[in-house]
C-alpha cells in the first residue's frame, strides 16, 4: 500500500513506496528537487546529480511534465533544511504511471480563470488545495451529522429518485421518458421519508440527490443538489424539530472545526463558529417589523407571508446585531405560501419554519399533518388531486404525529466556507445551462 504524505513522518529511515502527482520540478546544477503531491499534502524528493546510480532517475525526470504521476521506491530521511515538513524522499526507483499534457490553465492561480472554464476542467480545478478542501469539509460535515443521527437511533433510508408524480410543487419537476410513458425526478424525499414513519420506523434520514427544474441563475440555485433530509415521530410540536436541528448542526460544525478549523481559517480566511442553543426564533410578522424599523426594508406585496433573498440577508444582519447569532429560525409563514403537508393549528397557523444562516435559507421544516381528514382538506385547498392520492393513503391506517426538515447541503458548504456561489461549491454543478462534465 502507498504511504500518504501525512504518514511519512512515521517512516523515517525506512524504505517506502510513494505514489503521487509531480507538483513541481526544480532542476539545479548539482541536484534535482521534485515536489510530489497527494491528497494529504506535498513532499520533496531529492536526486543528487553527482551519484552515478542516479543517472537513470534523472533521465526519467528530465523528460517528465508536471502533473504526471509517478511511483517512487525510496528512503524517507529527516532533513531540517527541507521546508516541506522537514522530510525528503531519496529515490532508488521511479516508475512513470501517467504522463500529463500541458495544462489549459494554472490551477494554483485561479484568480483570472473564468468559472465556466474551471467547471469544464473540474478535475484540474480540484487540484487546487482550496477545492479539494471544499469536498473534504463537506464530507466531514456530513459525517458529523450522520454520526449524531446514528447515535440518536435514526435509520438511514434510500428512496427512489424516479417517481410517478411530483413530490413538491408541480411546476418545478423534471419529466423524463419512461418506456412508453413518463416519470419524474424526485424534488425531495418528502413523501417517502414520511411513508417510512407510517411503516413503523420512527426516526429516519436520507442524504441524496434532489432535482428542481428551476430556471434560475442565482448563486444559490442548482437544478440538482444534495438534500440532507430527516423525519421523526412522536413529536409534540415543530419546536421539537427545531431543537433537533440545532443539535444536528452543532454536531456537524463541531466535527468540521475539530478536523479542519485551522486550515479553513488559513485557506478561506473564515472562522468556523459553533453556535450556542437555542438559536433565536422569530415570527414573520415581528421580523417584518424589525426589518422595517432597523433597515427600512418592506417586503414586496407578492412576497407577503414569505421571505425573499433581500429579507434573508437582512435577517442575518438582525440575528447578528440583536441576538449575536449567525442563525435565526423564522416561523409563522402564511399557509398559502407553504406546502399542504405542513400542519396548521386550530387557528390555521402554520406549524413550520425556515432556518436562515449567514444570509440564506438553508432549511425548511415543519410538523407534518398526519391526520388523514385534515391532510385531504389541505391538499384540496391547494388544488392537488390525483398526484397526491398515493401519498394520502399512508395516513389511513394509523400514523404517528411527526415532523422533519430538509437541509440543502451545498448551501451549508458554501456558507461555511464563505464561497461566492453554488457553482464553485458543488462537486459538479448542474444548472439550466450545464449538464457536463
Ligand atoms: P425546500 O424546498 O425548502 O424544502 O428545500 C430544502 C432546502 O434545500 C435547499 N434548496 C436548494 N439548494 C440548491 N438549489 C436549489 N434549487 C434548492 N432548492 C432548495 C435549501 C432549502 O432550504 N420537503 C421540504 C423539506 C422538509 O420540509 O423536510 C423541501 O424540500 O437549503
Would you say residue 170 has pLDDT above 90? no
Protein residue with least CA distance to atom 19, ligand 1: 408
Closest to 83 (Cα-Cα) out of 31, 35, 17: 35
Among the residue ranges 38-52, 167-181, 401-415, the one predicted with the least confidence is 167-181
**In angstroms, rounded to a whole number, what is the distance separating the alpha carbons of residues 133 and 156?**
26
Cis amide leading into 168 (omega within 30): no
> Do residues 149 and 407 lie in contact, with contact meaning Cβ atoms separated by under 8 Å?
no
Closest to 81 (Cα-Cα) out of 19, 22, 36, 33: 33
> Do residues 272 and 319 lie in contact, with contact meaning Cβ atoms separated by under 8 Å?
no
Residue 167 pLDDT grade (very low, low, confident, very high; cuts 50, 70, 90) = low
Q: What is the DSSP string of 124-168?
A: HHTTSHHHHHHHHHHHHHHHHHHHHHHHTT-EE----SEESS-SS
Tell me how far the alpha carbon of residue 111 lies from the centroid of ligand 1, in angstroms.
Answer: 31
Q: Is 361 in the pocket of ligand 1 (CB under 6 A)?
A: yes
Q: What's the mean pLDDT in 361-371?
A: 98
Protein residue with least CA distance to atom 1, ligand 1: 364
pTM (two decimals)? 0.96
Residue 429 pLDDT grade (very low, low, confident, very high; cuts 50, 70, 90) = very high
Q: What's the mean pLDDT in 104-111?
A: 96
Q: Is 190 in the pocket of ligand 1 (CB under 6 A)?
A: yes
Q: What's the mean pLDDT in 345-368?
A: 97
Tell me how far the alpha carbon of residue 363 lies from the centroid of ligand 1, in angstroms.
Answer: 6
CA angle 94, 122, 36 (to 5 degrees): 25
Tell me how far the alpha carbon of residue 60 lies from the centroid of ligand 1, in angstroms.
Answer: 52
Tell me how far the alpha carbon of residue 368 lies from the centroid of ligand 1, in angstroms.
Answer: 16
Q: Is 366 in the pocket of ligand 1 (CB under 6 A)?
A: yes
Protein residue with least CA distance to atom 16, ligand 1: 221
pLDDT of residue 88: 98
Q: Is 367 in the pocket of ligand 1 (CB under 6 A)?
A: no
Closest to 228 (Cα-Cα) out of 142, 161, 158: 142
Closest to 199 (Cα-Cα) out of 191, 207, 187: 191
Q: What SS3 state is found at 38?
A: strand
Q: Is 403 in the pocket of ligand 1 (CB under 6 A)?
A: no
Q: What's the mean pLDDT in 386-394?
A: 93
CA distances from residue 186 to 154, 210, 407, 422 in whole angstroms, order as listed: 22, 6, 15, 20
> Do residues 225 and 361 lie in contact, with contact meaning Cβ atoms separated by under 8 Å?
no
Q: Is 425 in the pocket of ligand 1 (CB under 6 A)?
A: no
Q: Is 222 in the pocket of ligand 1 (CB under 6 A)?
A: yes
Cis amide leading into 437 (omega within 30): yes
Show the domains of the chain with their CATH numbers. 5-98 (2.40.50.140), 123-425 (3.30.930.10)
Q: Is 360 in the pocket of ligand 1 (CB under 6 A)?
A: no
pLDDT digits (tens, 9 = 90+) for 214-227: 998 999 999 999 99
Would you say residue 230 has pLDDT above 80? yes
Of residues 2 and 122, more confidence is placed in 122
Percent of the chain topping pLDDT 90 = 96
Cell digits for 122?
473540474
Protein residue with least CA distance to atom 3, ligand 1: 364
Tell me how far the alpha carbon of residue 212 lies from the centroid of ligand 1, in angstroms.
Answer: 9
Q: What's the mean pLDDT in 284-300?
A: 98
Alpha helices, H only, 296-364:
309-323
Q: Running DSSP on this structure, what letter comes out for residue 378?
A: H
Q: Which of 159, 161, 227, 431 to mutate for ligand 1's pocket (most ligand atoms within 8 Å of CB)? A: 227
Residue 2 pLDDT grade (very low, low, confident, very high; cuts 50, 70, 90) = confident
Tell me how far the alpha carbon of residue 81 lies from the centroid of ligand 1, in angstroms.
Answer: 52
pLDDT of residue 385: 83
pLDDT of residue 166: 74
Tell me how far the alpha carbon of residue 142 lies from the centroid of ligand 1, in angstroms.
Answer: 17
Question: From the alpha carbon of 187, which atom of ligand 1 is closest?
Answer: 30
Alpha helices, H only, 83-128:
115-120, 122-125
Q: Is 167 in the pocket of ligand 1 (CB under 6 A)?
A: no
Cell digits for 90?
531519496
Percent of the chain topping pLDDT 70 = 100
pLDDT digits (tens, 9 = 90+) for 173-222: 999 999 999 999 999 999 999 999 999 999 999 999 999 999 989 999 99
Q: Is 363 in the pocket of ligand 1 (CB under 6 A)?
A: yes
Instruction: Report the catalytic residues.
Output: 212, 214, 220-221, 361, 364, 411
pLDDT of residue 219: 96
Would you say residue 168 has pLDDT above 90? no
Q: What's the mean pLDDT in 280-287?
A: 98
Q: Which of 213, 227, 364, 391 to mutate for ligand 1's pocket (most ligand atoms within 8 Å of CB)? A: 364
CA distances from residue 296 to 304, 306, 314, 324 in whole angstroms, order as listed: 16, 18, 10, 21
Q: What's the mean pLDDT in 275-291?
A: 98
Q: Running DSSP on this structure, what letter comes out for residue 392?
A: H
> Do residues 61 and 20 lie in contact, with contact meaning Cβ atoms separated by under 8 Å?
no
Tell me how far the alpha carbon of residue 71 lies from the centroid of ligand 1, in angstroms.
Answer: 45
Q: Is 362 in the pocket of ligand 1 (CB under 6 A)?
A: yes
Protein residue with least CA distance to atom 15, ligand 1: 221
Q: Is 357 exposed, middle or buried (CB count within 10 Å of its CB: 0-12, 13-18, 19+)?
A: buried
Average pLDDT, the chain: 97
Q: CB neighbours of 47 closer than 8 A, spacing ≥ 6?
A: 31, 32, 33, 34, 54, 57, 58, 61, 90, 91
Beta strands 41-48 and 87-98, pairing class: parallel
Q: Is 88 in the pocket of ligand 1 (CB under 6 A)?
A: no
Amino acid at each position: 500500500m502507498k504511504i500518504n504524505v501525512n504518514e511519512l513522518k512515521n517512516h523515517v529511515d525506512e524504505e517506502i513506496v510513494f505514489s503521487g502527482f509531480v507538483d513541481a520540478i526544480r532542476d539545479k546544477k548539482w541536484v534535482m528537487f521534485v515536489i510530489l503531491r497527494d491528497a494529504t499534502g506535498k513532499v520533496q524528493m531529492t536526486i543528487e546529480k553527482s551519484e552515478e546510480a542516479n543517472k537513470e532517475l534523472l533521465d526519467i525526470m528530465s523528460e517528465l511534465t508536471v502533473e504526471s504521476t509517478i511511483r517512487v521506491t525510496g528512503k524517507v530521511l529527516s532533513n531540517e533544511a527541507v521546508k516541506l515538513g522537514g522530510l525528503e524522499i531519496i529515490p532508488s526507483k521511479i516508475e512513470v504511471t501517467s504522463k500529463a499534457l500541458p495544462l489549459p490553465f494554472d490551477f494554483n492561480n485561479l484568480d483570472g480563470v473564468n468559472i465556466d472554464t474551471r467547471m469544464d476542467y473540474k478535475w484540474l480545478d480540484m487540484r487546487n488545495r482550496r477545492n479539494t478542501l471544499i469536498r473534504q469539509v463537506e464530507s466531514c460535515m456530513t459525517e458529523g451529522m450522520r454520526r449524531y443521527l446514528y447515535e440518536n437511533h435514526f435509520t438511514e433510508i434510500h428512496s427512489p429518485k424516479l417517481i410517478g408524480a411530483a413530490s413538491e410543487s408541480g411546476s418545478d419537476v423534471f419529466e423524463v421518458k419512461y418506456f412508453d410513458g413518463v416519470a419524474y425526478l424526485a424534488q425531495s424525499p418528502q413523501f417517502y421519508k414520511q411513508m417510512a414513519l407510517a411503516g413503523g420506523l420512527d426516526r429516519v434520514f436520507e442524504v441524496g440527490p434532489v432535482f428542481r427544474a428551476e430556471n434560475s441563475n442565482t448563486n444559490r440555485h442548482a437544478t440538482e443538489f444534495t438534500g440532507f433530509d430527516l423525519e421523526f415521530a412522536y413529536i409534540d410540536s415543530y419546536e421539537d424539530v427545531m431543537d433537533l436541528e440545532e443539535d444536528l448542526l452543532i454536531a456537524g460544525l463541531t466535527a468540521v472545526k475539530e478536523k479542519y478549523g485551522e486550515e479553513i481559517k488559513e485557506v478561506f480566511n473564515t472562522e468556523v463558529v459553533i453556535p450556542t442553543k437555542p438559536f433565536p426564533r422569530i415570527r414573520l410578522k415581528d421580523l417584518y417589523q424589525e426589518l422595517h424599523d432597523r433597515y427600512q426594508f418592506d417586503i414586496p406585496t407578492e412576497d407577503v407571508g414569505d421571505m425573499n433573498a433581500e429579507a434573508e440577508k437582512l435577517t442575518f444582519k438582525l440575528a447578528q446585531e440583536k441576538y449575536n447569532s449567525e442563525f435565526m429560525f423564522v416561523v409563522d409563514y402564511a399557509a398559502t405560501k407553504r406546502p399542504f403537508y405542513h400542519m396548521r393549528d386550530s387557528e390555521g397557523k402554520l406549524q413550520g419554519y425556515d432556518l436562515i444562516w449567514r444570509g440564506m435559507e438553508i432549511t425548511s421544516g415543519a410538523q407534518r399533518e398526519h391526520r388523514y381528514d385534515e391532510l385531504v382538506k389541505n391538499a384540496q385547498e391547494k388544488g392537488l388531486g390525483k398526484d397526491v392520492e398515493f401519498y394520502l393513503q399512508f395516513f389511513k391506517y394509523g400514523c404517528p404525529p411527526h415532523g422533519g426538515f430538509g437541509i440543502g447541503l451545498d448551501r451549508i458548504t458554501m456558507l461555511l466556507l464563505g464561497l461566492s456561489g453554488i457553482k464553485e461549491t458543488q462537486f459538479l454543478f448542474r444548472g439550466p445551462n450545464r449538464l457536463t462534465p
